[in-house]
Amino acid sequence: MAELQREAEPQLLNGDDLNGDRDDADTSESVKKKRRKKKRTRTAGPAGTNEAEGDGEALGVGDATKQLEQQTLEDKDRAEDGEEDGDEGENSSGKKKRKKKKKKGLKGQTDPPSVPVCELFPSGDFPKGEECEYPPSKDGRSAAWRTTSEEKRALDRANEEMWSDFRQAAEAHRQVRSYVNGWIKPGMSMIEICEKLEDCSRRLIKEDGLKAGLAFPTGCSINHCAAHYTPNAGDPTVLRYDDVCKIDFGTHINGRIIDCAFTVTFNPKYDRLLEAVRDATNTGIRVAGIDVRLCDVGEIIQEVMESYEVEIDGKTYQVKPIRNLNGHSIGQYRIHSGKTVPIVKGGEATRMEEGEAYAIETFGSTGRGAVHDDMECSHYMKNFNVGHVPIRLPRAKHLLNVINENFGTLAFCRRWLDRLGESKYLMALKNLCDLGIIDPYPPLCDIKGSYTAQYEHTILLRPTCKEVVSRGDDY
């Protein structure tokens, strides 16, 4: 019904404009007749006056009809284009408002997604994540005062631009992962999955050099491999029905990174494993907050994860947190900015601080609960703190320039270098790694035959509340 009403309103408006145009046409007709009469009085004799007047009237009516038709066509064009024109100013602005309402929200997104998030929300008012009150302090004092404190609200508003960048990147992430869950299936190659996901992500984030784009390569680690695997060119790996695949990808706006991951399975026998890790991640998010010690977060995560048991192929396993994988603080253009959030007890007593952003991620395993470097390396990242280092190899110099220009201090992979048209760069890349300018991040694996799962969200420790900015309807 609402749609029908929307369609009927412009027709009424056009009808009003048409009546107005007829009045204008009648007025112009009478003015023309008077002018012609004056002209005839000056030039023509008394005998020819009536004939000339009759001709003038006939001519005036013909002109007025043509003018009326032309104006009606012009008004229709203006109404379609949403232009403002004279008396139609109010009507046109009304049409503009209705168009804006249509653009707002996800109604304007295509299938498959292709409209950048910034165009879906032209006002720049991007959807907020889940806003939570901070946990009470050790002595039981509530943190509810932060939401009403004028000082904290003013601090929150002062950083609105930064929060908005995070939210825009998070909305792109939500839409991309929703799209991926619609088509990912057994039998697809890992290269196909990654490239399809990254193409969509680039469109929705509206990739623009270092201002907006992908924050790091798409991780699609399978089974015992827990993290940092993405296929290199020529990798024949195919996703299978019995695989446990961790999809970990990031987006950024102006270096404000969303680091968010989930696990894909097709066989329901892994459901309990996924539930354990998801619960552990949500517990970590719940207890995190300003002045909370990082070691306390790790201890609670471990307690929750180890409370789960899973039965896979007739064998029962206790779910173990992978002790040498952690969550981390996130800085601008810096995915790991110094602080680590452990997922087992015994970590650092460092406290979380107001204004920080964190990736809260947990990994559960049916294996040893520890990972080691294995397989061919695909992930690389420039050392954030590296100064000037003399480089002798010309090809290494060239490669570093390409990396600086396209990735800066954000992570990248070999597929992305291929995409930029680079070739025969492996020796140059090794040279940059040997010099300490670039750090390699090889895949991290538990023992073969084990299964690992991961869930991750980005949280913002705002002055007024904690915002789980990457939260969606899916997890």
User: Computed from CA positions of residues 367, 373, 379, 381, in that sequence, does the dihedral angle turn out positive or negative?
Assistant: positive
User: 């929150």: which residue's tokens?
Assistant: 156
Contact yes or no for 215/252 (Cβ under 8 A): yes
Q: Helix 294-305 crosses helix 271-287 at what angle (to 10 degrees)?
A: 150
Kindly tell me the sign of the dihedral angle through the C-alpha atoms of 122, 251, 357, 178: positive
Cα–Cα distances in Å, from 18 out to 15, 22, 79, 91, 348?
A: 5, 6, 12, 13, 75
452-461/466-468 β-pairing: antiparallel
Tokens of residue 318, six digits:
């206790």
Tell me if residue 336 is catalytic. yes
Catalytic residue among 279, 296, 456, 467: 456
* From 88, 198, 243, 361, the catalytic residue: 361
d(CA 406, CA 422): 12
375: number of Cβ within 10 Å:
13
Alpha-carbon distance of 297 to 285, in angstroms, equals 9
Catalytic (active site) residue 373: no
Q: Please name which of 381, 407, 417 lies closest in space to residue 207, comparing C-alpha atoms.
A: 407
Is the peptide bond between 112 and the residue preceding it cis, with omega within 30 degrees of 0? Answer: yes
According to DSSP, the residues that pair with 357 across neighbouring strands are: 330, 460
Of the candidates 53, 291, 299, 336, the residue annotated as catalytic is 336
Beta bridge partners of 320: 365
CA separation for the pair 290, 347 (Å, rounded) = 17
Radius of gyration of the chain (CA): 32
Residue type, 60: G
224, 328, 379, 457: the catalytic one is 328
Q: Is 238 helix (H, G, I), strand (E, B) or coil?
A: strand
Of 21, 243, 259, 446, which residue is the catalytic one?
259
Q: How far apart are CA 327 and CA 306, in angstroms?
A: 18
Residues 269 and 453: their CA atoms lie apart, in Å, by 13
* Catalytic residue of the set 17, 248, 422, 467: 248
> Hey, what amino acid is at 367?
G
The DSSP secondary structure of 124-170, one letter per residue, reads: S-PPP-EEEPPPPPTT---STHHHH-HHHHHHHHHTHHHHHHHHHHH
In the residue annotation, 23 being an active-site residue is answered as: no
Active site residue 259: yes
Q: Could you give the strand order of the β-sheet that contains 379-382, starting from the edge strand earlier in sequence?
A: 412-413, 379-382, 438-441
Which sequence positions are flagged as catalytic? Answer: 248, 259, 328, 336, 361, 456
